[in-house]
Structure 1
Amino acid sequence: MKKLINNIEDVITEQMQGMAAAHPELKINLDPKFIIRADSDSQKKVVIISGGGSGHEPMHGGYVGKGMLDAACPGEVFTSPTPDQMFECAKAAHNGHGVLFLVKNYTGDVMNFEMAAEMLNAEGIKTQNVLIDDDVAVKDSLYTAGRRGVGTTVIMEKIVGAAAEAGYSLEACAKLATKVNSYGRSMGMALTSCIVPAAGKPNFDIDENEIEIGVGIHGEPGRKRIPHTSCDEITSILTHAILDDGVYTRQIREWDHGTGNWKEIEFTSPPFKSGDKMIVLVNGLGSTPLSELYGVYRKMHEICEDKNIVITRKIIGSYITALDMQGVSITMVKTDDEILKFWDAPVKTPALRWGV
């Protein structure tokens, strides 16, 4: 293993310290670990918080700032942050208008964010959770019950963060986040594994002439393993898996502030259809050259044109990674006027910024 690290146990702390030194608009807390806007004390709005295991940078800490997240909780590499960590983070960021947790669908994240929400609601801090489960590759995985949460997370954090900045209530932010999730679908693939520093070896074994279709952002198995093939063929597999995905119905849990308990609601994501307008993310998983991502976008754009899918906005780069994995994921989120308005709104974070 060759990595730019000192001691393995100091990796997350030193990365956070480096981020704080580079971005004085952010504050860090090391015990417990969280990243928060330096101007959080002056904000009078719903607080938007996300988090998860480290190793996916720039997500989530790189998206803390005006028009996006108010705070983020980094766990150890590929490990959920703890409930106490999220609880203290939310208390530090809260300003009287409620807290919305955006939670990727991984078993540890779901359980720990739910515990944190219960603790906060018990303290009188109105808190709600919204789940992200946009990965069409597999229904269940090593880390999840149900679809995994992947690239739609970035798009949701941008849209809901802008809505909170514009004065949306907690209920309105949660409703918008749920809509974005229902409109989002993703699919990824890996050319190579990644190396977790504590393990010092590849996270999974894959032959030189093989690729994993539908891989998760921790290296979880996908749909199938196939011989390596062309960029166009790989892109076609990913794009068609997204566009051909059917109706997706599942149970979601939200906090009922009236009864003080979780309630389950059936929620359905409609399939994409001809004429839909999309925000698209072509995302590198850590070690994929930008030139190759543009090659993927070229073929994906061609397929969308053939199917009368209109790409209205796009971002191309490494926005949600898996350490040093070589691979790509594609995310499509259907838009409407509300979503597009908040996507275009100003944002100023270390990893995403426009309009400021």
Structure 2
Amino acid sequence: MKKIINDPATVVTESLRGLAAAHGDLVRVVEDPALVVRADAPVAGQVAVVSGGGSGHEPLHGGFVGPGMLDAAVPGAVFTSPTPDAVQAAVMATAGGAGTLLIVKNYTGDVLNFETAAELAAAEGLDVRSVVIDDDVAVADSTFTAGRRGVGGTVPLEKITGAAAARGDSLDDVEAVARKVIGQVRSIGVALSPPTVPHAGEPSFTLADDEIEFGIGIHGEPGRERIPAEPADALVARMVDAVAGDLPFAEGDDVLLFTNSMGGTPQIELYLAHGIAERLLAERGINVRRRLVGPYITSLEMQGISITLLKLDDELTELWDAPVNTPALRWGV
């Protein structure tokens, strides 16, 4: 294992210190328990939006903290859910008097720990709601989940929900927007190589040089099937078929197309795949109205990509376009 680290036990803490050094104008970092909080939190009178999960998926979630997106992110150890006390601390640090919405990816540890934190915060008199994102079309259940996994759809969910909070929506309305996104977003990922978790020191799984894991999870969980390596046209067509056929997306639909690198895929391949996906969707009569391309929800250094489709309406498009100012996502400011 070759990584730019000192000690596997301190990877997350040292990385968070670097995030604070680079983006101290936007976020502040707490080390015990580990939190990333927007620099001006709490924002009085505004619904707070809080998320989190295991580290190793950067910039998710800490890179999305700031005006127009998350009020706080709770990073666990690599590929490990954060503890309830850390989530509760994030809720307390961002409570502006209008309630809190927790965005939770559908992994068993995340769901249980965020639920416990919500109960603890409620005991302190705070109004805390939770939504669970489960956009992965690859598998119904996995080692980590009961039901579909939360994957690439988490990024547009956090952006759009944060924008609703920023425009002054009530907690009921912010929660309703979040649930609308969850109902209309679907994703699938593929892996060409495994990630290596620092404390494990060896790859999470093995793939032959001529194999691709189709439907991979963001922690290296097995996918829908292991297939022979194939050209990009065929692979992206297989991905688009899986995602577009699930909701299903129909001719005339407006969508956000999010083409994501799992961490080790270079931009030249990512844009190549995105271009193919745009063409295939156009052939179906599906209108790509908004786009996002880049490494926004990764799995350490895994080579691979994911494709996410979100069905848009005028409200969701307006909220996607709204200003955002975070370390990893920034426009309109």
TM-score by length of 1: 0.92
Partner of 2:235: 234
Contact 2:136 2:186 in 1 (8 A): yes
Match of 1:48 in 2: 49
Q: Deviations over 1:75-112 (max 9, x none)?
A: 00000000010001110111111010000000000000
Matched AA of 1:89: A
Secondary structure of residue in 2 paired with 1:172: helix
Instruction: Tell me by how many angstroms 1:206 deviates.
Output: 1.1
Distance 2:105 2:113 in 1: 11
- The answer to whether the aligner puts 1:39 opposite 2:16 as a matched pair is no
Comparing 99-108 and 40-49, the one that deviates more:
40-49
Q: 1:205 deviation in Å?
A: 1.1
Give SS of 1:313's match: strand
In structure 2, how many angstroms separate the alpha carbons of the residues matched to 1:41 and 1:334? 32
Q: CA deviation at 1:41?
A: 3.5
TM-fit CA distance, 1:302: 1.1
Structure 1 residue 135: Cα displacement: 0.3
Measure, in 2, the Cα distance between the counterparts of 1:298 and 1:222.
24
Aligned equivalent of 2:62: 61
Q: Which position in structure 1 is the counterpart of 2:5? A: 5
Q: Secondary structure at the match of 2:209?
A: coil
Aligned counterpart, 2:265: 288
- Deviation, 1:11, is 0.5
Q: Deviations over 1:228-281 (max 9, x none)?
A: 110111101111001111xxxxxxxxxxxxxxxxxxxxxxxx522111100111
Distance 2:21 2:44 in 1: 22
Counterpart of 1:137 in structure 2 is 138
Would you say 1:350 and 2:322 are equivalent positions? no
In 2, Cα distance between the equivalents of 1:21 and 1:305? 43
Shift of 1:331: 0.2
Q: State TM-score, norm by structure 2.
A: 0.99
Name the amino acid aligned to 1:7.
Answer: D
The code of the aligned residue for 2:330 comes to R
Amino acid paired to 2:221:
E
Distance 2:231 2:142 in 1: 27
Q: Tell me the equivalent position of 1:14.
A: 14
Secondary structure in structure 1 of the residue aligned to 2:299: coil
Please tell me whether the aligned partners of residues 43 and 94 of structure 2 are also in contact (alpha carbons under 8 angstroms): no
Q: Partners of 2:268 and 2:132 in 1: how far apart?
A: 33
Query: How far did 1:122 drift?
Result: 1.5
Contact map agreement 2:257 2:310 (CA 8 A) in 1 = yes
**Residue of structure 2 in register with 1:263 after alignment:** none
Q: Which runs of 4+ in 1 moved over 6 A?
A: none
SS of residue matched to 2:109: helix
The residue that corresponds to 1:89 in the other structure is: 90
Deviation at 1:169, TM superposition (A): 0.7
Partner of 1:261: none
Percent identity among equivalent residues? 52
RMSD of equivalent CA atoms: 0.8
Once residues 43 and 234 of structure 1 are traced to their aligned partners in structure 2, the CA distance between those partners, rounded to angstroms, is 48
Structure 1: runs of 5+ lacking an equivalent: 246-269
User: Is 2:305 the counterpart of 1:328?
Assistant: yes
Give 1:1-356 correspondences, 5 Å limit. Answer: 1-24=1-24, 25-245=26-246, 270-356=247-333
Q: Distance in 1 between matches of 2:249 and 2:42?
A: 41
Q: Is the 8 A contact 2:44 2:97 kept in 1?
A: no
Deviations 1:97-138 (A, max 9, x none): 101000000000000011111111121100000010000001
Task: Give CA-to-partner distance per residue, 1:122-181, whole Å, 9 cap, x none.
Answer: 211000000100000011111100000011100010001011000011111111000001
Matched residues, number:
332
Assess if the C-alpha contact under 8 Å between 2:254 and 2:287 holds in 1: yes
Q: State the distance in 1 between where 2:208 and 2:9 align.
A: 30
Q: Is the 8 A contact 2:43 2:95 kept in 1?
A: no
User: Which amino acid in 2 is paired with 1:68?
Assistant: M
Deviation at 1:42, TM superposition (A): 4.4
Structure 2 residue matching 1:40: 3-state secondary structure: coil
